[in-house]
């Protein structure tokens, strides 16, 4: 089945179309991995789709094939040192390794971060770790060649070439890591920058209309109010022909991007938000332009997404089925509540679908700080749904 799926997906050359097809088929798409990826997108043994190394900008089919050949000959790479010891460093060059590192293809190797690959040992060392491991790999491969020509060439080889130390640095900030990744594979794959604001977007943004809908059929939404959450991905300040300043910014959500123009009073009110990297909640409606020949999304309000939770979330209601009410669950909720004291009211909706029982209650004393870690307890661990009031 995996082989058939791989053949079907390999015929799709456009990454966006391929990702949409995987989404339609409800398939998980995993990032590139030197131990599992092939040249094109393929299905692994678990049925997940693995990003192809040949689809990474700056790698190409030739380098990807040489990595696959080395992997088949020597087995999976346990760490970055085994990688450079065994791949052909004439075809898998510095540029290829840099691209693989940024795209996350080494993430599953032992003890390496993406940022480590580009760091030096200290402030006085400008030589990147990638340059050092390439030098190390070339020396190891040279010794291997020499050993084949000498009866005693293999003796002491492991001691003669020292492995460079892996720089102990912090991983890149999430937004920087994701932007670098997108620049090479064309999409946000490991995560999306907006994932940190999932609660705000699901609770306070339009549920059924997104930026792509406004782009595709704006006239359908004339006179309707919407709220969109997104990231500013581009901005520009300029001056009109009559000498008045104006700004533009591009907002991107999970579906598409939309450019907004700020003139006159809108410029006065909102131009401070025209900064690349800001996460915004934009409210407004579709209206006719001043020239009467077209339509636009007219902004009425802009807020930072980081302020939305504090300003608007007053309570959270946990939906608890009766069969999940046991001592362990109650103790875990109580512990999380005590460790996350704040101002948000905690409510409970206890239900039983078998007899249509539904009991609602709230805590008079316990108020919580609604952190992402607190929400993950319900999403990922206890599998309990919730709603924001």
pLDDT, tens digit (0-9, with 9 covering 90-100), for 234-278: 999 999 999 999 999 999 999 999 999 999 999 999 999 999 999
Using H for helix, E for strand and C for coil, what is the string for 65-80?
HHHHHHHHHHCCCCCH
Distance (Å, whole) CA 370 – CA 349: 18
Q: Is 103 found in the same domain as 216?
A: no
Please give the order of strands across the beta sheet that includes 385-388: 357-368, 341-352, 315-321, 385-388
Position with higher pLDDT, 259 vs 371: 259
Among 285, 309, 333, residue at a domain's last position: 309
Please state the φ and ψ torsions of residue 24, each to the nearest 5 degrees: -60, -35
Length of the chain equals 389
pLDDT, tens digit (0-9, with 9 covering 90-100), for 133-142: 999 999 999 9
Among 161, 185, 209, residue at a domain's last position: 185
Q: Is 317 found in the same domain as 214?
A: no
Q: Does pLDDT of 301 surpass 60? A: yes
Please tell me the predicted confidence (pLDDT) of residue 204: 95
Question: Which structural domain range is residue 353 located in?
Answer: 313-388
Q: Does pLDDT of 356 surpass 80? A: no
Residue 190 lies in a domain: no
| Residue 21 binned pLDDT confidence (cut-offs 50, 70, 90) | confident
Nearest to 129 by CA among 155, 170, 97: 97
Write out the two tokens for 162.
Answer: 């020292």
Q: Is 200 found in the same domain as 173?
A: no
Instruction: Specify the CATH number for the domain of residue 288.
Output: 2.40.50.140
Torsion angle, CA of 52/57/59/64, rounded to 10 degrees?
A: 10
Torsion angle, CA of 221/225/229/230, rounded to 10 degrees?
A: 50
Query: Taking all residues of the chain, what is their mean pLDDT, rounded to a whole number?
Result: 89
CA angle 171, 229, 383 (to 5 degrees): 70
| Structural domains in the chain (count) | 3
Residue 321 lies in a domain: yes
Position with higher pLDDT, 381 vs 16: 16
Q: Is 206 found in the same domain as 163?
A: no
pLDDT, tens digit (0-9, with 9 covering 90-100), for 274-293: 999 999 999 999 999 877 77
Please tell me the predicted confidence (pLDDT) of residue 51: 93
Please tell me the predicted confidence (pLDDT) of residue 374: 81
Please tell me the predicted confidence (pLDDT) of residue 363: 78
Q: Is 69 found in the same domain as 7?
A: yes
pLDDT, tens digit (0-9, with 9 covering 90-100), for 31-79: 999 999 999 989 898 889 999 999 999 999 999 999 999 999 999 999 9
Residue 322 lies in a domain: yes
Long-range interactions of 261-268: CB distance < 8 A, separation 24+ = 261/296, 262/299, 266/299
Q: Does pLDDT of 122 surpass 70? A: no
Write out the two tokens for 344.
Answer: 């948000």
């Amino acid at each position: 089945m995996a082989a058939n799926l791989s053949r079907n997906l390999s015929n799709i050359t456009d990454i966006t179309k391929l990702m949409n097809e995987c989404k339609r088929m409800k398939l998980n798409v995993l990032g590139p991995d030197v131990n599992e990826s092939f040249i094109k997108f393929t299905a692994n043994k678990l049925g997940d789709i693995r990003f192809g190394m040949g689809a990474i900008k700056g790698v190409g089919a030739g380098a990807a094939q040489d990595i696959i050949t080395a992997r088949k000959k020597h087995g999976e790479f346990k760490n970055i040192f085994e990688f450079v010891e065994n791949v052909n460093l004439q075809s898998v060059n510095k540029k290829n390794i840099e691209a693989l590192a940024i795209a996350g293809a080494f993430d599953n190797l032992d003890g390496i971060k993406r940022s480590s690959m580009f760091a030096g040992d200290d402030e006085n060392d400008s030589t990147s770790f990638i340059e050092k491991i390439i030098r190390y790999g070339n020396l190891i491969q040279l010794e291997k060649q020499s050993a084949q020509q000498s009866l005693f060439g293999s003796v002491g080889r492991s001691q003669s070439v020292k492995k460079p130390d892996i720089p102990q640095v912090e991983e890149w900030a999430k937004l920087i890591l994701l932007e670098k990744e997108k620049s090479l594979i064309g999409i946000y794959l490991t995560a999306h920058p907006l994932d940190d604001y999932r609660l705000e977007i699901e609770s306070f943004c339009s549920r059924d209309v997104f930026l792509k809908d406004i782009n595709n059929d704006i006239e359908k939404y004339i006179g309707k109010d919407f709220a969109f959450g997104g990231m500013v991905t581009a901005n520009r300040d300029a001056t009109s022909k009559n000498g008045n300043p104006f700004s533009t910014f591009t907002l991107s959500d999970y579906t598409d991007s939309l450019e907004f123009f700020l003139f006159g009073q809108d410029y006065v009110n909102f131009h401070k938000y025209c900064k690349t990297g800001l996460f915004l909640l934009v409210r407004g409606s579709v209206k006719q332009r001043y020239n009467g020949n077209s339509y636009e999304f007219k902004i009425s309000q802009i807020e930072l997404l980081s302020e939305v939770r504090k300003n608007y979330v007053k309570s959270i209601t946990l939906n608890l089925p009766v069969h999940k009410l046991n001592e362990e669950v109650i103790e875990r909720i109580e512990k999380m509540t005590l460790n996350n004291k704040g101002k948000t009211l905690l409510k409970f909706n206890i239900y039983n679908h078998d007899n249509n029982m539904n009991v609602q209650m709230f805590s008079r004393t316990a108020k919580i700080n609604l952190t992402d870690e607190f929400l993950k307890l319900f999403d990922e661990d206890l599998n309990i749904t919730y709603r924001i009031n």
